[in-house]
């Protein structure tokens, strides 16, 4: 592979005698990875049912390699059931190493298309809140789809400039991930087009952007909270340089150890102005040391603020809405779900019914793609459940289900949007909303009458043949 000359020279200087081993990797095939959605299935269970050959990624407990030249895991009903996400192995590391716990308030500042946000959401296991943001509205649409496919309901999907969010979320979050826009040097093998982009917008351009994003994000982290910064580039200015800038502006941040793996390489104190030894705790991923493309990670903890102590965190909760009774048809539908709903968290806007995360600040004038779990729509008083709700439910939580084995050709028919005959599975008098599952994992809803099931799978998500 012909690398840009300036890049090659820079890498020679960075890697010294390791450069030849690094350069030789460009003649090797790229790695393909798949990450299990642990909010839907355990790793052990997935290994039992996985229809293609996989081998563990040693530093990611729910990550596996697959052979991308032979297999197409995105064209499988389990993918449509949200059981896994396809992701380059080194890119799994940031969300894995940010210690998110159920109940946390988590922000993913640059989240689209959701490779990391889907893992952060899965780690929350339905409690707390994930705010997934991306400045690009078109990319945020893909992010929303991936989060809904994963069954994440306790979330907001926003498309905002991070500086605007600081006014709403000052010191609000427990954990923040910044997977920054970068010059992408670690992705040259996976996607050679990145080299052209690098020549147009190199490290200097991205460094300026990263400096503004990290300092804006810093204001949204509560004291004691943790921030993980990552890039898929090798450039020192964009990596150690950005973290050094953050720590100069916000001295209350300290660099923390990242759970180790033998293939990780230490960050470089010599690449950071000031050269503090702590930069060794940051991690560089190189393809000649491990089976992944290339990444940089720094985990930081925010101490008590030195200058902004006692500042108002801007958190003014949405005034609780007067609790109106829910429409009858919605009330009836919810009786079929074995889950306790908090009446104060329903939010009906026009025809749409949402179930909101708890303790959100008032968010007027923020560009949303989604706020909360879209439960469904009220059409002339009739409630129609959404695709997002189907993906958010477990089979055991819903009273009426049609569970098809993978081998049943009605699975693909359902995903294509076709009407199904299911009189062999339900009594002739049964009717109403059914949750259609494959091997026990929900795919979507259908409406049954007289042994025929009208397909309610979201048209935009259909299986394309």
- Of 83 and 91, which has the nearer Cβ to ligand SAM? 91
Both tokens assigned to 376: 């469904």
Cis check for the bond before 390: say yes or no (omega within 30 of 0).
Answer: no
232 labelled catalytic: yes
453 binds ligand SAM (CB under 6 A): no
89 binds ligand SAM (CB under 6 A): no
**Which one is catalytic: 25, 50, 182, 232?**
232
213 binds ligand SAM (CB under 6 A): yes
Q: Closest distance between ligand SAM and the C-beta of residue 108, in Å?
A: 7
Q: Closest distance between ligand SAM and the C-beta of residue 145, in Å?
A: 12
139 binds ligand SAM (CB under 6 A): yes
237 binds ligand SAM (CB under 6 A): no
Stretch that binds ligand SAM, among 133-141, 167-175, 290-298, 354-362 (CB under 6 A): 133-141
Q: Is 116 annotated as a binding residue?
A: yes
- Of 123 and 410, which has the nearer Cβ to ligand SAM? 123
203 binds ligand SAM (CB under 6 A): no
380-419: contacts with ligand SAM (CB under 6 A)? none
179 binds ligand SAM (CB under 6 A): yes
Place of tokens 């230490």: 266
Binding residue count for ligand SAM, defined by CB under 6 A: 18
Both tokens assigned to 77: 């009903």
Q: Is 179 annotated as a binding residue?
A: yes
Stretch that binds ligand SAM, among 135-143, 191-199, 243-251, 332-340 (CB under 6 A): 135-143
Distances, alpha carbon 336 to alpha carbons 95, 395, 398, 447, in Å:
35, 12, 6, 14
Q: Is 115 annotated as a binding residue?
A: yes
Q: Closest distance between ligand SAM and the C-beta of residue 120, in Å?
A: 10
- Of 87 and 386, which has the nearer Cβ to ligand SAM? 87
- Of 33 and 446, which has the nearer Cβ to ligand SAM? 33
- Of 133 and 386, which has the nearer Cβ to ligand SAM? 133
Q: Closest distance between ligand SAM and the C-beta of residue 117, in Å?
A: 7
115 binds ligand SAM (CB under 6 A): yes
Q: Closest distance between ligand SAM and the C-beta of residue 118, in Å?
A: 8
202 binds ligand SAM (CB under 6 A): no
95-114: contacts with ligand SAM (CB under 6 A)? 109-114
Q: Closest distance between ligand SAM and the C-beta of residue 438, in Å?
A: 26
Stretch that binds ligand SAM, among 19-27, 77-85, 132-140, 167-175 (CB under 6 A): 132-140
Q: H/E/C letters for each residue in the chain?
A: CCCCHHHHHHHHHHHHHHHHHHHHHHHCCCCEEEEECCCCCCHHHHHHHCCCCEEECCCCCCEEEECCCCCCCCCCHHHHCCCEEECCHHHHHHHHHCCCCCCCEEEECCCCCCCCHHHHHHHHCCCCEEEEECCCHHHHHHHHHHHHHCCCCCEEEECCCHHHHCCCCCCCEEEEEEECCCCCHHHCCCCCHHHHHHHHCCHHHHHHHHHHHHHHHHHHEEEEEEEEEEECCCCCCCCHHHHHHHHHHCCCEEEECCCCCCCCEECCHHHCCCCCHHHHHCEEECCCCCCCCCEEEEEEEECCCCCCCCCCCCCCECCCCCCCCCCHHHHHHHHCECCCCCHHHEEEECCEEEECCCCCECCCCCCEEEECEEEEEEECCEEEECHHHHHHCCHHHECCEEEECCCCCHHHHHHHCCCEECCCCCCCCCEEEEEEEECCEEEEEEEEECCEEEECCCHHHCCCC
162 binds ligand SAM (CB under 6 A): yes
Among the listed residues 15, 68, 79, 136, the single contact to ligand SAM using CB under 6 A: 136
Catalytic residues: 232
| Annotated binding-site ranges for S-adenosyl-L-methionine | 110-116, 134, 179
| Annotated binding-site ranges | 110-116, 134, 179
| Residues found near ligand SAM in the complex (CB under 6 A) | 109-116, 134-136, 139, 161-162, 179, 181, 209, 213
């Amino acid at each position: 592979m012909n690398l840009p000359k300036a890049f090659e020279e820079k890498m020679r200087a960075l890697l010294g005698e390791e450069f030849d081993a690094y350069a030789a990797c460009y003649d090797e095939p790229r790695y393909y990875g798949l990450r299990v959605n642990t909010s839907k299935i355990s790793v052990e269970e997935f290994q039992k049912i996985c229809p293609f050959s996989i081998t563990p990624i040693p530093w990611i407990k729910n990550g596996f390699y697959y052979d991308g030249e032979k297999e197409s895991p995105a064209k499988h009903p389990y993918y449509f059931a949200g059981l896994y996400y396809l992701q380059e192995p080194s890119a799994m590391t940031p969300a894995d190493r940010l210690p998110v716990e159920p109940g946390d308030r988590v922000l993913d500042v640059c989240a689209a298309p959701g490779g990391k946000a889907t893992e952060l959401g899965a780690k929350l296991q339905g409690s707390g809140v994930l705010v997934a943001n991306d400045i690009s509205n078109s990319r945020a649409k893909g992010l929303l789809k991936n989060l809904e496919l994963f069954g994440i309901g306790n979330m907001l999907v926003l498309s905002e400039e991070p500086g605007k969010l600081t006014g709403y979320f000052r010191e609000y979050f427990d954990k923040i991930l910044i997977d920054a826009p970068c010059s992408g040097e670690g992705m040259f093998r996976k996607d050679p087009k990145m080299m052209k982009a690098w020549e147009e917008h190199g490290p200097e351009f991205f460094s300026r952007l990263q400096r503004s994003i990290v300092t804006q994000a810093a204001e949204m982290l509560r004291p004691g909270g943790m921030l993980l910064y990552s890039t898929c580039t090798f450039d020192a200015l964009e990596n150690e340089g950005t973290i050094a800038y953050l720590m100069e502006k916000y001295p209350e941040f300290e660099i923390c150890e990242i759970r180790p793996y033998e293939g990780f390489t230490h960050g470089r104190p010599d690449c950071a102005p000031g050269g503090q030894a702590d930069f060794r705790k940051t991690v560089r991923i190189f393809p000649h040391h491990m089976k992944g493309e290339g990444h940089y990670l720094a985990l930081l903890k925010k101490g008590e603020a030195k200058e902004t102590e006692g500042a108002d965190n801007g958190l003014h909760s949405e005034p609780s809405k007067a609790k109106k009774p829910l429409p009858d048809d919605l009330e009836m539908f919810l009786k079929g779900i074995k889950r306790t709903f908090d009446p104060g968290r329903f939010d009906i806007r026009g025809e749409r019914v949402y179930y909101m995360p708890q303790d959100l600040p008032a968010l007027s004038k923020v560009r949303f793609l989604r706020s909360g779990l879209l439960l469904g729509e009220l059409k002339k008083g009739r409630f129609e459940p959404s695709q997002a709700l189907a993906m958010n439910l477990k089979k055991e939580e819903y009273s009426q289900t049609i569970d098809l084995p993978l081998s049943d050709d009605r699975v693909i028919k359902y995903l294509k949007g076709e009407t199904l005959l299911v009189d062999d599975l339900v009594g002739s008098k049964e009717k109403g909303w059914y949750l259609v599952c494959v091997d026990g994992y929900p795919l979507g809803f259908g409406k049954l009458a007289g042994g025929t099931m009208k397909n309610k799978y979201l048209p935009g998500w259909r299986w394309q043949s």
